[in-house]
Structure 1
Amino acid sequence: MSIALRQPMSLEVFLAWEEQQELRWEFDGFEPVAMTGGTAQHSVIQRNLYIALGTRLRGKRCQVYTADLKIAVAGSIRYPDAFVVCSPVPGRTLVVTEPVVVFEVLSPSTASTDFGIKNEEYRDTPSIQRYVMLAQDRQRATVFERAANDWIGHIVSGEAILRMPEIEITLPLAEFYDGVTFEDIPPEV
Protein backbone atom coordinates (compact mmCIF):
# COMPACT_ATOMS: atom_id res chain seq x y z
CA MET A 1 0.00 0.00 0.00
CA SER A 2 1.37 3.40 -0.87
CA ILE A 3 0.54 6.57 0.97
CA ALA A 4 0.63 9.87 -0.87
CA LEU A 5 2.61 12.44 1.09
CA ARG A 6 1.32 15.97 0.94
CA GLN A 7 3.85 18.62 0.10
CA PRO A 8 3.86 21.73 2.27
CA MET A 9 2.74 24.98 0.65
CA SER A 10 5.33 27.74 0.66
CA LEU A 11 4.61 31.05 2.34
CA GLU A 12 4.82 32.87 -0.99
CA VAL A 13 2.38 30.45 -2.66
CA PHE A 14 -0.01 30.79 0.29
CA LEU A 15 0.01 34.61 0.15
CA ALA A 16 -0.73 34.58 -3.59
CA TRP A 17 -3.44 31.94 -3.12
CA GLU A 18 -5.08 33.77 -0.21
CA GLU A 19 -5.41 36.99 -2.23
CA GLN A 20 -7.82 35.09 -4.50
CA GLN A 21 -10.00 33.77 -1.65
CA GLU A 22 -13.22 35.35 -0.40
CA LEU A 23 -12.69 34.21 3.19
CA ARG A 24 -9.69 34.72 5.46
CA TRP A 25 -7.21 31.91 5.95
CA GLU A 26 -4.26 31.54 8.31
CA PHE A 27 -1.15 29.62 7.27
CA ASP A 28 0.41 27.21 9.77
CA GLY A 29 3.69 26.86 7.89
CA PHE A 30 2.37 23.83 6.01
CA GLU A 31 -1.15 24.49 4.72
CA PRO A 32 -4.05 26.98 4.83
CA VAL A 33 -6.33 26.94 7.89
CA ALA A 34 -9.84 28.43 7.55
CA MET A 35 -10.78 31.25 9.90
CA THR A 36 -14.18 30.77 11.50
CA GLY A 37 -16.56 33.30 13.00
CA GLY A 38 -16.83 33.97 16.71
CA THR A 39 -19.55 34.42 19.30
CA ALA A 40 -21.20 37.67 20.36
CA GLN A 41 -19.13 37.50 23.56
CA HIS A 42 -15.94 37.21 21.49
CA SER A 43 -16.99 40.24 19.45
CA VAL A 44 -17.68 42.37 22.54
CA ILE A 45 -14.29 41.54 24.07
CA GLN A 46 -12.59 42.24 20.75
CA ARG A 47 -14.38 45.60 20.42
CA ASN A 48 -13.38 46.55 23.97
CA LEU A 49 -9.80 45.56 23.19
CA TYR A 50 -9.66 47.96 20.21
CA ILE A 51 -11.22 50.80 22.19
CA ALA A 52 -8.99 50.37 25.27
CA LEU A 53 -5.78 50.08 23.26
CA GLY A 54 -6.70 52.67 20.64
CA THR A 55 -7.55 55.29 23.24
CA ARG A 56 -4.32 54.80 25.16
CA LEU A 57 -2.11 54.65 22.06
CA ARG A 58 -3.64 57.61 20.22
CA GLY A 59 -0.86 60.03 19.26
CA LYS A 60 1.92 57.66 20.34
CA ARG A 61 4.47 55.81 18.23
CA CYS A 62 2.85 52.40 18.83
CA GLN A 63 -0.48 51.67 17.13
CA VAL A 64 -3.11 48.95 17.48
CA TYR A 65 -4.30 46.96 14.46
CA THR A 66 -7.36 44.76 14.09
CA ALA A 67 -7.91 41.21 12.87
CA ASP A 68 -8.25 42.55 9.32
CA LEU A 69 -4.47 42.71 8.97
CA LYS A 70 -2.24 39.63 9.12
CA ILE A 71 1.12 39.10 10.79
CA ALA A 72 4.05 36.90 9.75
CA VAL A 73 5.40 34.88 12.68
CA ALA A 74 7.94 32.05 12.67
CA GLY A 75 7.06 30.94 9.12
CA SER A 76 3.28 31.20 9.63
CA ILE A 77 0.61 33.79 8.84
CA ARG A 78 -1.84 34.69 11.60
CA TYR A 79 -4.80 37.02 12.07
CA PRO A 80 -4.73 37.77 15.81
CA ASP A 81 -7.74 39.53 17.34
CA ALA A 82 -5.54 42.61 17.83
CA PHE A 83 -1.86 43.46 17.83
CA VAL A 84 0.35 46.47 18.45
CA VAL A 85 3.20 47.63 16.23
CA CYS A 86 5.75 50.28 17.21
CA SER A 87 7.42 50.78 13.83
CA PRO A 88 5.88 52.57 10.82
CA VAL A 89 3.39 50.48 8.80
CA PRO A 90 2.83 51.81 5.25
CA GLY A 91 -0.84 52.15 4.32
CA ARG A 92 -0.85 49.42 1.66
CA THR A 93 0.82 46.82 3.89
CA LEU A 94 -0.89 43.41 3.82
CA VAL A 95 1.47 41.53 6.15
CA VAL A 96 3.08 43.01 9.27
CA THR A 97 6.43 41.50 10.21
CA GLU A 98 7.26 43.23 13.53
CA PRO A 99 4.32 43.02 15.96
CA VAL A 100 5.26 43.87 19.55
CA VAL A 101 2.17 42.78 21.51
CA VAL A 102 -0.38 40.20 20.28
CA PHE A 103 -3.89 39.58 21.65
CA GLU A 104 -6.11 36.54 21.10
CA VAL A 105 -9.64 36.05 22.46
CA LEU A 106 -9.88 32.37 23.33
CA SER A 107 -12.62 30.21 21.84
CA PRO A 108 -13.28 26.54 22.64
CA SER A 109 -12.40 25.61 19.05
CA THR A 110 -9.10 27.55 18.96
CA ALA A 111 -7.82 27.57 22.56
CA SER A 112 -5.47 24.62 22.13
CA THR A 113 -3.89 26.25 19.06
CA ASP A 114 -3.67 29.62 20.83
CA PHE A 115 -2.01 28.08 23.91
CA GLY A 116 0.21 25.70 21.93
CA ILE A 117 1.28 26.34 18.36
CA LYS A 118 0.59 30.10 18.26
CA ASN A 119 2.28 30.59 21.62
CA GLU A 120 5.41 28.89 20.26
CA GLU A 121 5.27 30.96 17.05
CA TYR A 122 4.91 34.20 19.02
CA ARG A 123 7.74 33.16 21.36
CA ASP A 124 9.94 32.43 18.34
CA THR A 125 9.26 35.85 16.78
CA PRO A 126 11.85 38.24 18.28
CA SER A 127 9.78 41.43 17.88
CA ILE A 128 6.94 40.04 20.04
CA GLN A 129 7.44 41.06 23.66
CA ARG A 130 4.02 40.08 25.04
CA TYR A 131 1.20 37.69 24.15
CA VAL A 132 -2.17 38.14 25.88
CA MET A 133 -4.88 35.44 25.68
CA LEU A 134 -8.26 36.66 26.93
CA ALA A 135 -10.80 34.14 28.23
CA GLN A 136 -14.44 34.44 27.16
CA ASP A 137 -16.02 32.58 30.06
CA ARG A 138 -14.55 34.67 32.89
CA GLN A 139 -12.53 37.82 33.46
CA ARG A 140 -9.08 36.28 33.07
CA ALA A 141 -6.04 36.52 30.85
CA THR A 142 -3.01 34.34 30.34
CA VAL A 143 -0.05 36.57 29.58
CA PHE A 144 3.33 35.52 28.22
CA GLU A 145 6.16 38.03 28.19
CA ARG A 146 9.74 38.07 27.04
CA ALA A 147 12.20 38.31 29.93
CA ALA A 148 15.78 38.30 28.64
CA ASN A 149 16.11 34.86 26.99
CA ASP A 150 12.99 33.42 28.60
CA TRP A 151 9.26 33.38 27.73
CA ILE A 152 7.35 33.58 31.00
CA GLY A 153 3.62 33.02 31.45
CA HIS A 154 1.29 34.08 34.21
CA ILE A 155 -2.46 34.36 34.77
CA VAL A 156 -4.21 37.58 35.76
CA SER A 157 -7.85 37.88 36.71
CA GLY A 158 -10.48 40.00 38.36
CA GLU A 159 -9.38 43.57 39.02
CA ALA A 160 -5.81 43.05 37.78
CA ILE A 161 -3.99 45.83 35.95
CA LEU A 162 -2.13 44.81 32.79
CA ARG A 163 1.23 46.53 32.61
CA MET A 164 2.71 46.66 29.14
CA PRO A 165 5.96 48.66 29.36
CA GLU A 166 6.94 47.72 25.79
CA ILE A 167 4.07 49.90 24.53
CA GLU A 168 4.13 52.30 27.50
CA ILE A 169 0.61 51.69 28.81
CA THR A 170 -1.28 50.06 31.65
CA LEU A 171 -4.95 49.17 31.66
CA PRO A 172 -7.43 47.35 33.86
CA LEU A 173 -8.27 43.84 32.69
CA ALA A 174 -11.91 44.69 33.45
CA GLU A 175 -12.04 47.12 30.47
CA PHE A 176 -11.83 44.19 28.06
CA TYR A 177 -14.95 42.72 29.66
CA ASP A 178 -17.19 45.80 29.77
CA GLY A 179 -20.70 44.71 28.76
CA VAL A 180 -19.92 40.99 28.97
CA THR A 181 -22.30 38.84 31.01
CA PHE A 182 -20.79 35.59 32.19
CA GLU A 183 -22.99 32.53 32.33
CA ASP A 184 -22.98 30.53 35.53
CA ILE A 185 -19.96 28.30 35.36
CA PRO A 186 -18.88 25.69 37.87
CA PRO A 187 -15.87 26.61 40.03
CA GLU A 188 -12.51 25.31 38.84
CA VAL A 189 -11.15 22.31 40.64
Structure 2
Amino acid sequence: MLAMNLAVRKPMSLAEFLEWEDRQELRYEFDGVEPSAMTGGTVAHATIQGNLAVAIGGRLRGKPCRFYGSDLKIRVADDHIRYPDGMVVCSRVDQTAKVVHDPVVIFEVLSPSTAAKDRIVKAREYQATPSLKRYVMLEQERIGATVLVRAQDGWSALILKDDDALDMPEIGLAIPLAEFYEGLAFEAQPVEDNDRPPPTTA
Protein backbone atom coordinates (compact mmCIF):
# COMPACT_ATOMS: atom_id res chain seq x y z
CA MET A 1 0.00 0.00 0.00
CA LEU A 2 1.50 3.33 -1.06
CA ALA A 3 1.56 6.19 1.39
CA MET A 4 0.66 9.50 -0.22
CA ASN A 5 2.06 12.72 1.13
CA LEU A 6 -0.43 15.46 0.35
CA ALA A 7 0.66 19.03 0.96
CA VAL A 8 -2.05 20.76 2.93
CA ARG A 9 -2.16 24.44 2.06
CA LYS A 10 -3.16 26.71 4.90
CA PRO A 11 -6.13 28.87 3.90
CA MET A 12 -5.34 32.54 3.34
CA SER A 13 -6.94 35.13 5.56
CA LEU A 14 -8.61 38.16 3.98
CA ALA A 15 -5.80 40.42 5.23
CA GLU A 16 -3.15 38.09 3.77
CA PHE A 17 -4.96 37.98 0.44
CA LEU A 18 -5.32 41.76 0.17
CA GLU A 19 -1.65 42.27 0.97
CA TRP A 20 -0.61 39.54 -1.48
CA GLU A 21 -2.87 40.75 -4.32
CA ASP A 22 -1.53 44.28 -3.97
CA ARG A 23 1.83 42.96 -5.22
CA GLN A 24 0.43 41.07 -8.22
CA GLU A 25 0.14 42.31 -11.79
CA LEU A 26 -3.12 40.43 -12.39
CA ARG A 27 -6.40 40.81 -10.53
CA TYR A 28 -7.54 37.96 -8.32
CA GLU A 29 -10.81 37.04 -6.66
CA PHE A 30 -10.85 35.39 -3.23
CA ASP A 31 -13.22 32.65 -2.06
CA GLY A 32 -12.20 32.72 1.59
CA VAL A 33 -9.51 30.06 1.08
CA GLU A 34 -7.35 30.85 -1.94
CA PRO A 35 -7.06 33.35 -4.81
CA SER A 36 -8.21 32.73 -8.38
CA ALA A 37 -6.93 34.78 -11.31
CA MET A 38 -9.30 36.89 -13.38
CA THR A 39 -9.02 35.87 -17.03
CA GLY A 40 -9.47 38.05 -20.10
CA GLY A 41 -12.81 38.33 -21.86
CA THR A 42 -14.13 38.58 -25.42
CA VAL A 43 -14.90 41.64 -27.52
CA ALA A 44 -18.60 41.08 -26.81
CA HIS A 45 -17.91 41.00 -23.07
CA ALA A 46 -15.89 44.21 -23.23
CA THR A 47 -18.54 45.91 -25.39
CA ILE A 48 -21.32 45.10 -22.92
CA GLN A 49 -19.16 46.33 -20.03
CA GLY A 50 -18.49 49.59 -21.86
CA ASN A 51 -22.17 50.05 -22.66
CA LEU A 52 -23.03 49.49 -19.00
CA ALA A 53 -20.69 52.29 -17.96
CA VAL A 54 -22.13 54.70 -20.55
CA ALA A 55 -25.82 53.83 -20.06
CA ILE A 56 -25.80 53.74 -16.28
CA GLY A 57 -22.88 56.02 -15.41
CA GLY A 58 -24.20 58.76 -17.67
CA ARG A 59 -27.70 58.64 -16.20
CA LEU A 60 -26.34 58.80 -12.65
CA ARG A 61 -24.34 61.99 -13.16
CA GLY A 62 -25.27 64.54 -10.52
CA LYS A 63 -27.07 61.92 -8.43
CA PRO A 64 -25.93 60.37 -5.14
CA CYS A 65 -25.34 56.89 -6.61
CA ARG A 66 -22.32 56.08 -8.76
CA PHE A 67 -21.40 53.36 -11.27
CA TYR A 68 -18.04 51.59 -11.02
CA GLY A 69 -16.53 49.12 -13.47
CA SER A 70 -14.52 45.94 -12.99
CA ASP A 71 -11.33 47.61 -11.75
CA LEU A 72 -12.79 47.96 -8.26
CA LYS A 73 -13.30 44.98 -5.99
CA ILE A 74 -16.08 44.39 -3.50
CA ARG A 75 -16.09 42.59 -0.17
CA VAL A 76 -19.09 40.32 0.08
CA ALA A 77 -20.34 37.74 2.58
CA ASP A 78 -17.82 35.54 4.43
CA ASP A 79 -15.00 37.97 3.58
CA HIS A 80 -14.92 36.91 -0.06
CA ILE A 81 -13.56 39.33 -2.67
CA ARG A 82 -15.14 39.71 -6.11
CA TYR A 83 -14.58 41.91 -9.16
CA PRO A 84 -18.04 42.32 -10.72
CA ASP A 85 -18.32 43.60 -14.28
CA GLY A 86 -20.17 46.62 -12.93
CA MET A 87 -21.82 47.90 -9.77
CA VAL A 88 -23.71 50.85 -8.39
CA VAL A 89 -22.82 52.23 -4.97
CA CYS A 90 -24.98 54.84 -3.23
CA SER A 91 -22.86 55.50 -0.13
CA ARG A 92 -19.78 57.67 0.06
CA VAL A 93 -16.59 55.92 -1.10
CA ASP A 94 -13.17 57.29 -0.19
CA GLN A 95 -11.13 58.21 -3.28
CA THR A 96 -8.23 56.04 -2.11
CA ALA A 97 -10.39 52.98 -1.38
CA LYS A 98 -9.53 49.73 -3.16
CA VAL A 99 -12.43 47.73 -1.72
CA VAL A 100 -16.14 48.61 -1.71
CA HIS A 101 -18.35 47.12 1.01
CA ASP A 102 -21.94 48.12 0.20
CA PRO A 103 -22.97 47.82 -3.48
CA VAL A 104 -26.68 48.29 -4.23
CA VAL A 105 -26.80 46.79 -7.75
CA ILE A 106 -24.26 44.36 -9.24
CA PHE A 107 -23.80 43.35 -12.90
CA GLU A 108 -22.07 40.25 -14.25
CA VAL A 109 -21.66 39.45 -17.96
CA LEU A 110 -22.05 35.69 -18.31
CA SER A 111 -19.56 33.59 -20.25
CA PRO A 112 -19.33 29.78 -20.66
CA SER A 113 -16.41 29.57 -18.21
CA THR A 114 -18.01 31.67 -15.46
CA ALA A 115 -21.77 31.19 -15.84
CA ALA A 116 -22.11 28.43 -13.23
CA LYS A 117 -20.15 30.40 -10.62
CA ASP A 118 -22.06 33.61 -11.45
CA ARG A 119 -25.49 31.93 -11.27
CA ILE A 120 -24.90 29.86 -8.12
CA VAL A 121 -21.83 30.72 -6.05
CA LYS A 122 -21.91 34.48 -6.50
CA ALA A 123 -25.71 34.60 -6.26
CA ARG A 124 -25.44 33.08 -2.77
CA GLU A 125 -22.66 35.47 -1.75
CA TYR A 126 -24.54 38.49 -3.04
CA GLN A 127 -27.77 37.37 -1.37
CA ALA A 128 -25.87 37.29 1.95
CA THR A 129 -24.59 40.86 1.36
CA PRO A 130 -27.24 43.07 3.04
CA SER A 131 -26.71 46.23 0.96
CA LEU A 132 -27.31 44.46 -2.37
CA LYS A 133 -30.84 44.88 -3.74
CA ARG A 134 -30.50 43.67 -7.33
CA TYR A 135 -28.13 41.26 -9.12
CA VAL A 136 -28.19 41.46 -12.93
CA MET A 137 -26.67 38.64 -15.02
CA LEU A 138 -26.38 39.67 -18.67
CA GLU A 139 -26.16 37.08 -21.43
CA GLN A 140 -23.19 37.51 -23.74
CA GLU A 141 -24.33 35.54 -26.81
CA ARG A 142 -27.81 37.08 -27.11
CA ILE A 143 -29.81 39.97 -25.69
CA GLY A 144 -31.18 38.73 -22.41
CA ALA A 145 -30.75 38.88 -18.65
CA THR A 146 -31.58 37.09 -15.44
CA VAL A 147 -32.31 39.55 -12.64
CA LEU A 148 -32.35 38.52 -8.99
CA VAL A 149 -34.20 40.98 -6.76
CA ARG A 150 -33.99 40.92 -2.99
CA ALA A 151 -37.19 39.60 -1.45
CA GLN A 152 -38.19 38.89 2.13
CA ASP A 153 -37.23 35.21 1.93
CA GLY A 154 -34.28 35.41 -0.49
CA TRP A 155 -34.22 36.26 -4.20
CA SER A 156 -37.09 36.86 -6.61
CA ALA A 157 -36.07 36.06 -10.21
CA LEU A 158 -36.97 37.95 -13.40
CA ILE A 159 -36.10 36.90 -16.95
CA LEU A 160 -35.66 39.72 -19.47
CA LYS A 161 -35.53 39.44 -23.26
CA ASP A 162 -34.46 41.81 -26.02
CA ASP A 163 -37.47 44.15 -26.01
CA ASP A 164 -37.70 44.46 -22.20
CA ALA A 165 -36.39 47.24 -19.99
CA LEU A 166 -34.19 46.73 -16.95
CA ASP A 167 -36.05 48.43 -14.11
CA MET A 168 -33.87 49.50 -11.16
CA PRO A 169 -36.06 51.48 -8.74
CA GLU A 170 -33.30 51.28 -6.10
CA ILE A 171 -31.31 53.79 -8.13
CA GLY A 172 -34.18 55.48 -9.96
CA LEU A 173 -33.44 54.11 -13.45
CA ALA A 174 -35.18 52.03 -16.11
CA ILE A 175 -33.06 51.29 -19.20
CA PRO A 176 -33.95 49.31 -22.36
CA LEU A 177 -32.01 46.04 -22.17
CA ALA A 178 -30.96 46.36 -25.82
CA GLU A 179 -28.97 49.49 -24.94
CA PHE A 180 -26.37 47.34 -23.18
CA TYR A 181 -25.80 45.44 -26.44
CA GLU A 182 -25.33 48.43 -28.73
CA GLY A 183 -22.67 47.70 -31.36
CA LEU A 184 -23.15 43.93 -31.26
CA ALA A 185 -24.93 41.78 -33.85
CA PHE A 186 -26.31 38.35 -33.03
CA GLU A 187 -27.29 35.53 -35.36
CA ALA A 188 -30.90 34.44 -35.21
CA GLN A 189 -31.36 31.65 -32.67
CA PRO A 190 -32.15 28.25 -34.23
CA VAL A 191 -35.78 27.21 -34.11
CA GLU A 192 -36.45 24.22 -31.84
CA ASP A 193 -37.92 21.18 -33.59
CA ASN A 194 -41.07 21.44 -31.48
CA ASP A 195 -41.60 24.98 -32.75
CA ARG A 196 -41.32 24.14 -36.42
CA PRO A 197 -44.55 24.09 -38.43
CA PRO A 198 -45.61 20.64 -39.65
CA PRO A 199 -44.53 19.78 -43.21
CA THR A 200 -47.11 20.37 -45.89
CA THR A 201 -48.11 17.60 -48.28
CA ALA A 202 -48.96 18.05 -51.94
SS of the equivalent of 2:36 reads strand
Letter in 2 for 1:89: V
Name which of 37, 43, 46 aligns with 2:40.
Answer: 37
For 1:35, give the aligned amino acid. Answer: M
Match of 1:86 in 2: 90
Q: Is 2:9 the partner of 1:24? A: no
Residue 8 in structure 1 maps to residue 45 in structure 2: no
TM-score calculated relative to the size of structure 2 = 0.90
Decide whether the 8 Å contact of 1:145 with 1:151 is kept in 2: yes
For residue 184 of structure 1, report the CA deviation from its aligned partner. 4.7
Task: Provide the residue aligned with 1:168 in structure 2.
Answer: 172
Q: 3-state SS of the aligned residue for 2:52?
A: helix
1:112 equivalent among 109, 113, 116: 116
**Structure 1 contact 137–183 (Cα < 8 Å) conserved:** no
Shift of 1:3: 3.4
The answer as to 2:83 corresponding to 1:96 is no
Which blocks of at least 5 consecutive residues in structure 2 are unaligned?
A: 194-202
**1:172 alignment partner AA:** P
Offset, 1:86: 0.3
Q: What is the one-letter code of the residue matched to 1:44?
A: T
Q: 1:148 Cα deviation (Å)?
A: 2.4
1:175 and 1:15 map into 2 onto residues whose CA distance is 35
Contiguous gaps of at least 5 residues in structure 1: none
Aligned with residue 61 of structure 1, among 64, 77, 95 = 64
Query: 2:49 is matched with which residue?
Result: 46
CA RMSD across the alignment: 1.3
Q: Which amino acid aligns with 2:6?
A: I
SS in 2 for 1:166: helix
CA offsets per residue over residues 63-107 of structure 1, 9 Å max, x none?
000101100001210110000000001100000000000000011
Structure number with the bigger relative contact order (C-alpha 8 A, sep ≥ 6) is 1
